[in-house]
Amino acid sequence: MRKWVVFIGILLVLGILPQMVSTYYLNLLTLSLIFAIFAMSFDLVFGYLDLPSLGHVAFYGVAAYTIGLFSKNVVGNFWLNFPLGIGMACVAAALFGLLALRTRDASFLMITLAMAQMLWAIAFKWRSFTRGDDGISAILRPDLSFIPWSLQDATIYYYFVLFFFVIAFVLMYIMVRSPFGHIILGIRESELRMRALGYNTLLYKYIWLIISGFFAGLAGILAVYFNGYVGPAALGIGISAEGLLMVLLGGPGTLVGPAIGAVVIVFLENIISAWTERWLFFLGAIYVLVVMFAPKGILGLIDKIISKKAN
């Protein structure tokens, strides 16, 4: 009950913030919520299955490119493009799972990275289809006739993203605490033992990866509508690396932690990059400090401090 009270309190703060900040910081908040969804989807694989991946960006990028290509070349219908983008992200996750889930640890990381880089190369080289490194621009935000406001407005789009963030968080929260989620945790702790108990662990991991791809695809769709553009960077290793850092910074296996990590990284990245071109150095330094002094992330550090005070 206490957790839900805190959650509702945070929602109230998020609902009020657009009235208190400038357009610049409002856009950063919107981007933070988008990457919070991506980081939580990453956490499903890394935090709950203990599978490090540098190819998670593929699901994000495939959904983004699907929206961009269909919006510009076929039809800009949100009700058609949105499920199509999500579906393509799930297809990408399903294909990745067939090849990668029989491996673990460094092997899993390298295979997912290699497959994501293949998609990046296609996006970069197939200029006649994807427009290469120029990317696809002027992608309009959807016109939803059932609401009297335009998503072109930064504040309205923020609330649009906030709605999907809440839905995504609640769904993932329910899943990780469901019987299915407990099986996933059992596989993370001892896959051999779960097999001995009769569970088809490969199938469970496969379904879990597709679910993760679903939410990563949602983040990609919201991002392409936010930016009005998609290019090869949407399939690049940089976004996967940032997602990994967000999870590590906030605390893997928590959902809330990666969301917090996303907010911190997005704001730091934009503030530091406005001050110096060497902002990647500072992000790397943050990663080193987290590993050294807070290996369980921000939430783990907070729990440690609270435990010490209680004792």
What residue ranges of the chain have pLDDT lower than 50?
none
Quick one: pLDDT at residue 61? Answer: 96
What is the three-class DSSP state of 177? coil
Alpha helices in the chain (DSSP H): 2-16, 23-49, 57-73, 78-100, 105-125, 127-130, 154-176, 179-189, 191-196, 201-227, 237-250, 256-275, 279-293, 297-310
Quick one: pLDDT at residue 138? Answer: 86
Quick one: pLDDT at residue 121? Answer: 94
Distance (Å, whole) CA 6 – CA 269: 27
pTM as predicted: 0.93
Quick one: pLDDT at residue 293? Answer: 75
Q: How far is CA 204 from CA 19, 105, 211, in A?
A: 44, 18, 11
Quick one: pLDDT at residue 310? Answer: 61
Amino acid at 206: Y
pLDDT tens-digit readout, 160-191: 999 999 999 999 999 999 999 999 999 999 99
What is the three-class DSSP state of 149? coil
Q: What is the DSSP letter of 114?
A: H
